[in-house]
Amino acid sequence: AQSVAQPEDQVNVAEGNPLTVKCTYSVSGNPYLFWYVQYPNRGLQFLLKYITGDNLVKGSYGFEAEFNKSQTSFHLKKPSALVSDSALYFCAVRDETGGSYIPTFGRGTSLIVHP
Amino acid sequence: DTGVSQDPRHKITKRGQNVTFRCDPISEHNRLYWYRQTLGQGPEFLTYFQNEAQLEKSRLLSDRFSAERPKGSFSTLEIQRTEQGDSAMYLCASSSSRPNPQGVTDHSYEQYFGPGTRLTVT
């Protein structure tokens, strides 16, 4: 079975400050991990993914995420937040060895960046 | 290619009516997924196609829901005898595996989503 948790419903950060959006996962095998962003009344947009290799993954719009196997976490980060980063962020996981091509999504974290 | 498109973007219907939604995936993508999303939740998987074959269906997909992808290109999702609980955003996504410049195929299948169809059942 695979599952993902986003422990924060909302994250507030001031513009220019670093931001972190948390995600933890559970899989039986090796994880494929994804971050997506959703702007109001829009579909989800792919940001970045971890497959294997470097634990620090870089993605779109200056976002990066750090894979931590021992803590089963894949937190999304950005060194300097912009007001335009305000959106819903979803973490997703798929078990590489599970035989299913369907990822499980978290409930989402609302990121609010204050001017 | 401009990405995944969905039609209509909004649909208001009366309880008991049938509705049909269409999804056009990215042209070279062989995998297509339908999800349902309600307020405050992430996307919930409904069903998945590889080419024209429907390979997985969620237990969420009641007998009133049916999906097709007849030629392995666009897909339709039909809801019969709609109920107020069917009100949600219906998302379509597509994906594919492809080799990187080094010739190694990535099987992670990140998904590319359409804008969604918002259904309101009154």
Per-residue pLDDT of chain B (122 residues; tens, 9 = 90+): 579 999 999 999 999 999 999 999 998 888 999 999 998 899 999 999 999 999 989 987 889 999 999 888 999 999 999 999 999 999 999 998 766 667 766 667 789 999 999 999 99
Single-letter residue type at B24: D
Instruction: Kindly state the average pLDDT of the residues A89-111.
Output: 90
Query: Quick one: average pLDDT of A102-106?
Result: 93
pLDDT tens profile A25-84: 999 988 999 999 999 878 899 999 998 888 999 999 999 999 999 999 999 999 999 999
Q: How many CB atoms within 10 Å of residue A85?
A: 19
Of A32, A43, A106, the CB nearest to B114: A43
Pick from A24, A34, A23: which is nearest to A96 by CA?
A34
Spell out which residues of chain B touch residue A103, defining contact as CB-CB under 8 Å.
Answer: 111
* Cβ–Cβ gap B43/A45 under 8 Å: no
A and B: number of Cβ contacts within 8 A: 62
Task: Please give the torsion angle defined by the CA atoms of residues A19, A22, A23 and A24, in that order, rounded to the nearest 10 degrees.
Answer: 140
Largest CA distance in chain A: 45
Please report the sign of the dihedral spanned by the C-alpha atoms of residue A24, residue A26, residue A27, residue A30. positive
